[in-house]
C-alpha cells in the first residue's frame, strides 16, 4: 500500500491501509475536537453504526443516516475507542487518548480530521482485526495532538496477517421443517375425590425488627483552573458512596456515583 505524506505546521497526513488522518486548524480549549469522516468502499452509509466508548462504557453512538462527516468533542483526560461497523464489511476502530500535560488544557488544540474507510469482507470469508488500526495521542515533540506512528506501524502488520488468513464465514442453517403433531388420544381419568382438608395450624409471624438507618454526608469542593469539582461522601449504615459533580467553564456539567455516570436528578436526590 502506498504511503502519502504532506507536511503541514506540526501535522502530517498519513494513509495506511485505508486509514487516513488530516489535520486542520480550529481551536477549542478543554476539549479535543475530531472531524470524523466515514468512507465505505463500493457502498453507501446504510446500516453503518459508529460507537464511541470511554473506559469500556458507551460515550456516544452515531447513525450516519446518509451523512459522512461528524464533529466529535472528546473530553480531556480519557481514553476513547471509535468503532465503525457495517454488515459484510471489515470492522475498524481507532484509539483517541486525550491525556495532556499539566497546564496544557488552558491553551488551544488543533482540530483533527480522521477518515476511516471500511473495506468489503472477502467472498464467503471473514476478516477480523485483533486491534485498532490507528491511534491519536498528545505528542510532547509537536506540543499538540499527533499520530502515534509506532502504533500505526504495528497495526499495519496486524492487518496484513489478518487479511492473509481470513476465516470461513459462518453458515446460517435454515430452520428445520415443521413437525406434524400427533393426534391426542383422550384418556379418561378416574374420578378424583379429595380428602377432607385438615385445618392448618396458626403460626404467629414474628414481629419484624426495624433497625434505624444511619446516614452521614461530607462535602468538599476542589477548584482547578476552569474546573470546579464538588465531592460528596454519603455513608449509609457504614457503607460509603462517593458522588462527584464536575462543572467546566465551557458549560459542561457531569455527575458520577462511585466513578459511573449518573443524572443530575439522581445526584441531587441521593445527596440531599
Largest CA distance in the chain: 96
Which residues span the domain enclosing 255? 215-270
Closest of 247, 239, 203, 205 to residue 222, by C-alpha:
247
244 and 162 together in one domain: no
Number of domains in the chain: 2
User: Residue-wise pLDDT tens for the chain (272 aa)?
Assistant: 333 333 333 333 333 333 444 444 344 458 999 999 999 999 999 999 999 999 889 999 999 888 889 899 999 999 999 999 999 999 999 999 999 999 898 888 887 789 999 999 999 899 999 999 999 999 999 999 998 999 999 999 999 999 999 999 877 777 787 877 777 777 677 777 777 777 878 877 777 676 676 788 899 999 988 899 999 999 988 899 999 999 998 888 999 999 899 999 999 998 88
Residue 84 sits in a domain whose CATH number is: 2.60.40.2190
pLDDT at residue 237, as a whole number: 82
Give the bridge partners for 241, in sequence order.
Answer: 234
219 and 162 together in one domain: no
pLDDT at residue 207, as a whole number: 74
113 and 22 together in one domain: yes
Task: Name, in order, each residue with C-beta under 8 angstroms of 258's C-beta and a sequence gap of 6 or more.
Answer: 241, 242
pLDDT at residue 213, as a whole number: 66
17 and 136 together in one domain: yes
Please report whether residue 67 resides in a domain: yes
Grid cell at residue 14: 498519513
Please report whether residue 184 resides in a domain: no
12 and 113 together in one domain: yes
Please report whether residue 205 resides in a domain: no
159 and 235 together in one domain: no
pLDDT at residue 23, as a whole number: 40
Closest of 98, 95, 97 to residue 116, by C-alpha:
95
Grid cell at residue 207: 414481629
Please report whether residue 182 resides in a domain: no
pTM over 0.75: no
126 and 19 together in one domain: yes
* Rounded Cα–Cα distance for residues 254 and 33 (Å): 19
pLDDT at residue 244, as a whole number: 94
53 and 133 together in one domain: yes
Please report whether residue 159 resides in a domain: yes
What contacts 24+ positions apart, CB below 8 Å, involve 150-158?
151/95, 152/14, 152/16, 152/19, 155/16, 155/131, 156/16, 156/17, 158/129, 158/130, 158/131
Please report whether residue 55 resides in a domain: yes
Please report whether residue 246 resides in a domain: yes
12 and 114 together in one domain: yes
pLDDT at residue 29, as a whole number: 52
75 and 144 together in one domain: yes
Amino acid at each position: 500500500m502506498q504511503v502519502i505524506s504532506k507536511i503541514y505546521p506540526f501535522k502530517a497526513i498519513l494513509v495506511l491501509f485505508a486509514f487516513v488522518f488530516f489535520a486542520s486548524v480550529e481551536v477549542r480549549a478543554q476539549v479535543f475536537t475530531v472531524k470524523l469522516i466515514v468512507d465505505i468502499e463500493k457502498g453507501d452509509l446504510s446500516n453503518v453504526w459508529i460507537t464511541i466508548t470511554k473506559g469500556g462504557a458507551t460515550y456516544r453512538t452515531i447513525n450516519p443516516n446518509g451523512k459522512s462527516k461528524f464533529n466529535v468533542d472528546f473530553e480531556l483526560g480519557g481514553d476513547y475507542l471509535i468503532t465503525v461497523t457495517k454488515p459484510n464489511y471489515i470492522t475498524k476502530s481507532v484509539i483517541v487518548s486525550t491525556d495532556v500535560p499539566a497546564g496544557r488544557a488552558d491553551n488551544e488544540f488543533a482540530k483533527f480530521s480522521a477518515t476511516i474507510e471500511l473495506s468489503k469482507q472477502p467472498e464467503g470469508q471473514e476478516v477480523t482485526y485483533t486491534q485498532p488500526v490507528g491511534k491519536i495521542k498528545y505528542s510532547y515533540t509537536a506540543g499538540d495532538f499527533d499520530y502515534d506512528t509506532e502504533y500505526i506501524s504495528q497495526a499495519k502488520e496486524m492487518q496484513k496477517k489478518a487479511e492473509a488468513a481470513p476465516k470461513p464465514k459462518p453458515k446460517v442453517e435454515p430452520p428445520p421443517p415443521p413437525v406434524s403433531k400427533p393426534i391426542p388420544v383422550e384418556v379418561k381419568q378416574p374420578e378424583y375425590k379429595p380428602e377432607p382438608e385438615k385445618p392448618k395450624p396458626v403460626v404467629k409471624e414474628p414481629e419484624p425488627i426495624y433497625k434505624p438507618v444511619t446516614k452521614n454526608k461530607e462535602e468538599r469542593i476542589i477548584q482547578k483552573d476552569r474546573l470546579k469539582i464538588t465531592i460528596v461522601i454519603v455513608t449509609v449504615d457504614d457503607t460509603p458512596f462517593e458522588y462527584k459533580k464536575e462543572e467546566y467553564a465551557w458549560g459542561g456539567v457531569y455527575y458520577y456515583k462511585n466513578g459511573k455516570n449518573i443524572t443530575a436528578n439522581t445526584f441531587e436526590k441521593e445527596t440531599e
